[in-house]
Amino acid sequence: MSTLTAERPTAEPATRPRAPKRRLRGEAKLHPLVWVFVVAVMGFSLIPFYWLVNTSLKTGASLSQGELYPSQPTFENYLVVFQNPEFLLALRNSVIIAVVTTTVALVFASFAAYALARLKMRRKALILTLILSVTTFPAIAIAAPLFSIWREIGLYDTLLGLIIPKLTFALPLAIYTLTSFFKEIPRELEESAYMDGATPFTAFRKVILPLAVPGLATTAILVFISVWNEFLLAVTLTTSPEARPVPVAIAFFSGTSEFDQPLGTISAASVIITVPLVILVLLCQKRIVSGMTAGAVKG
Amino acid sequence: MANKTLVPGRGVNGRDRAERRLAVRMTAPSLVIMALVAAVPIGYAIWLSLNQYSVRTAGLSRFVGLENYISALSSSQWWAAFGQTFLFAGLSVSLELVLGTAMALLLNLAFKGRALLRTVVLLPYAIITVVSAITWQTMFQPNMGLVTNVLSALGLPGGDVVWLGEHGYAMAVIVLADVWKTTPFAALIILAGLQVISSETYEAAELDGASKWQAFVHITLPLLRPAIVLAAIFRTMDALRVFDLPFVLTRGANGTESMSMLAYTQLRENRLVGEGSALSILTFLTVMVVSVIYVRFAGGNIREVAKEEQ
């Protein structure tokens, strides 16, 4: 534990004038035990991915023997998945649901977040608390009544019937994240827009929104991932392949075939939908980190 | 900077009023959606929970008062699910906080490979929970899973266990799958807290002759408290709502049913809308009570964050 309190990190060299010097002083020699921990953490994070890919490349005997690596790798499972109409439908459904929900949430949330971050407003703390409290609702509390309401008004088992409640959970997440991004934009910019005779809304649209694009992108990624991942509403409010998104399709892939559990196929389907998100995380790692921690902890 | 009264044609008060009007209009759409799709259904759920309402009998409903609640609260199923959910939350959140703090301290060190480590620990966040559950399920499959095979190859106990077939083992796999996927989240929140502690604090402590361990216990941990509490709140709220993991891993068998799962089962599989609604309201109240307790006793800083919004 002796190196735990080593020199401060060089997190953002660009914002630190003495970055090169700090880096030299800061690059600590890690204790061997700390390296063991580093390797353990990396292994813990990566091994399940390895096993998922490994399983997806095996069929028949090599699958049931649980070989530690595929001795005869085959893409058969992937072919099966891509020929499965239910999986393709689920993929389509997930894309539509995630794209529509993310877009709509971003539009409304950027309005609300701007008002909460910048405008004079009565009962701001109360409104923010209410918005945050929606994030703590267990989805089942909404799913149960929506199950009944949607059946009566015909939204049960439809894409719209899933988008609406998912939006309810996406909005507070987006508002919370965006509010902290808007706060980082210097106030002077709006003041000079006002000087030029802009109304508050014009200042928002013409000055602040373009500057907030990185924050909007970050929020979009976070919302997209959480909507894509959501399961309980999806499983409660759908019943047919026409409306089922990917997580539900995959879960029932495994559930219905008790006698011949197609683990290879399920794993292949899982790999297919995980790869794009892993690429997204690799590409947008910094954004995701800043979004996850935005506004959470302040100095 | 700009003098507000210079805005053409408007005084300070004029702009204030315009801002307030705009603020209302800008927050209204979000608030209306959330009210319609969160508050209204919850109100309706309360109504449903007071009725006997069955899909089987074509939605015929009969007001029964608190009967559904009484039968839920006197059933062993509810208390089992309640206990299991808290057991799961307690185990997974405490592991995530300890492991997350250790990971955050690691990520806060300057060493070659830190960027790689940060990317790697973030990867589980990209996987959907259902897929993570399936992955852990295959790792613990008897005879063909990675963990079971390695354990038996090494002659260690556990290789011949049907992991998902026994309560304790099944719970362990569920906790492990949750820890794997969500520790990065806790670690990042705690890392953000770590990065705002100034190095002068440590320099002063060092001058006073404090050891590294003393500095960690007396400086780092207390200053990290707000970040750790925040991570604990987020993670606990999520853990108490757990659904996907037991649903995929065990379908709730072997005493792993969570509160959300029990409500779901009554609602969708047993078609008992009234009782299912009562159970979901009970789940809702449980989560709410826990969050209020958290904010009141452990999270003064959370209220400050909220208050800071002026």
**Could you report the per-residue pLDDT of B229-275, keeping only the tens digit for each?**
889 988 999 999 999 999 999 888 888 899 999 999 998 888 888 88
Chain B: residue whose CA lies nearest to A130: B31
**Could you report the per-residue pLDDT of A201-242, keeping only the tens digit for each?**
888 888 888 989 999 999 999 999 999 999 999 999 999 999
Name the DSSP letter for residue B310. -
Q: Report the distance separating Cα A208 and Cα A181, nearest Å.
A: 11
What was the pLDDT predicted at B58? 59
pLDDT, averaged across chain B = 85
User: β-strand B61-63 against B51-53: which pairing, if any?
Assistant: antiparallel
What was the pLDDT predicted at B294? 84
For residue A151, the SS3 value is helix
Q: What kind and span of H or E run contains B53?
A: strand B51-53
Least CB–CB distance from B2: residue in A111, A195, A298: A195
**Cβ contact, residue pair A247, B130, below 8 Å:** yes
For residue B52, the SS3 value is strand
Region of poorest pLDDT, from A30-39, B2-11, B76-85, B231-240: B2-11
Least CB–CB distance from B241: residue in A139, A267, A273: A139
What was the pLDDT predicted at A69? 84
Q: Residue B153 CB: number of other CB atoms within 10 A?
A: 10
Q: Report the distance separating Cα A286 and Cα A16, nearest Å.
A: 18
Confidence tier at A3 by pLDDT (50, 70, 90): very low
**Cβ contact, residue pair A145, B213, below 8 Å:** no
Ranges of H-type helices in chain B: 12-34, 40-49, 67-73, 76-107, 114-122, 129-139, 146-153, 167-194, 199-207, 212-215, 221-240, 244-249, 259-264, 273-293, 300-307
**Could you report the per-residue pLDDT of A252-289, keeping only the tens digit for each?**
875 444 455 688 889 999 999 999 999 998 998 888 88
Q: What percent of chain B has pLDDT over 70?
A: 89
The residue behind tokens 């700390």 is A34
Q: CA–CA distance from A282 to each of A51, A220, B119, B126, B185 (Å)?
A: 20, 16, 7, 9, 16
The pTM of this model reads: 0.87
**Cβ contact, residue pair A145, B126, below 8 Å:** no
Look at residues B248, B126, B133, B120 and name the one whose alpha carbon lies nearest to residue A274: B126
Look at residues A110, A87, A115 and name the one whose alpha carbon lies nearest to residue A248: A87
Complex-level ipTM: 0.86
Residue B143 contacts A, CB cutoff 8 Å: yes
Region of poorest pLDDT, from B102-116, B167-181, B205-219: B205-219
Q: Which residues pair with B61 in a beta bridge?
A: B53
Q: B104 pLDDT exceeds 90? A: yes
For every residue of B233-299, DSSP letters joined together read: HHHHHHHHT--HHHHHHTTTTTTT--HHHHHHIIIIIS-BHHHHHHHHHHHHHHHHHHHHHIIIII-
**Cβ contact, residue pair B138, A263, below 8 Å:** yes
Least CB–CB distance from B309: residue in A116, A236, A246: A116
Which of A1, A4, A5 to substitute to test the interface with B, most B CBs within 10 Å? A5
**Could you report the per-residue pLDDT of B49-96, keeping only the tens digit for each?**
998 876 666 566 778 888 889 999 999 999 999 999 999 999 999 999
What was the pLDDT predicted at A59? 83
Angle at A164 between CA B239 and CA A139, to 5 degrees: 20
pLDDT, averaged across chain A = 84
Does residue B25 contact residue A108 with C-beta atoms inside 8 Å? no
